[in-house]
Amino acid sequence: MAYELRSARYLAADCLRQVIRPGDTVVDATLGNGHDTLMLAELVGDAGLVIGFDIQEEALRRTEAALAQAGLAARCRLHAVGHQEMAAYVQEPVRAVAFNLGWLPGGDKAVTTHWDTTRAALDAALSLLLPYGVCTVCAYPGHAAGDEERQKLSTYLAALRPQEYNVLHSRFLNAGPGAPECFIVQRMG
Supply the CATH classification number for the domain 8-104+124-183: 3.40.50.150
Give the tens place of pLDDT for each residue, 65-92.
999 999 999 999 999 999 999 999 999 9
Locate the domains of the chain by residue range.
Answer: 8-104+124-183
Is 81:55 a contact under the CB 8 Å cutoff?
A: yes
Residue 165: is it exposed, middle or buried by C-beta count within 10 angstroms (0-12/13-18/19+)? Answer: middle
Give the tens place of pLDDT for each residue, 5-52.
788 999 999 999 999 999 999 999 999 999 999 999 999 999 999 999
Give the span between the Cα atoms of 189 and 5, in whole angstroms. Answer: 29
Q: Is the pLDDT of residue 107 over 80?
A: no
| Dihedral, CA of residue 33, residue 19, residue 98 and residue 63, to nearest 10 | 20
User: Which of 140, 91, 99 is CA-nearest to residue 119?
Assistant: 99
Helical spans, DSSP H, in 20-169? 35-44, 57-70, 86-89, 115-128, 144-158
pTM for this predicted structure: 0.95
Output the pLDDT for position 189. 85
Give the tens place of pLDDT for each residue, 127-141.
999 999 999 999 998
Average of per-residue pLDDT values in the chain: 94
Sign of CA dihedral 39, 181, 62, 81: positive
User: Which of 47, 54, 58, 2 is CA-nearest to residue 20?
Assistant: 47
Q: What is the mean pLDDT of residues 93-112?
A: 88
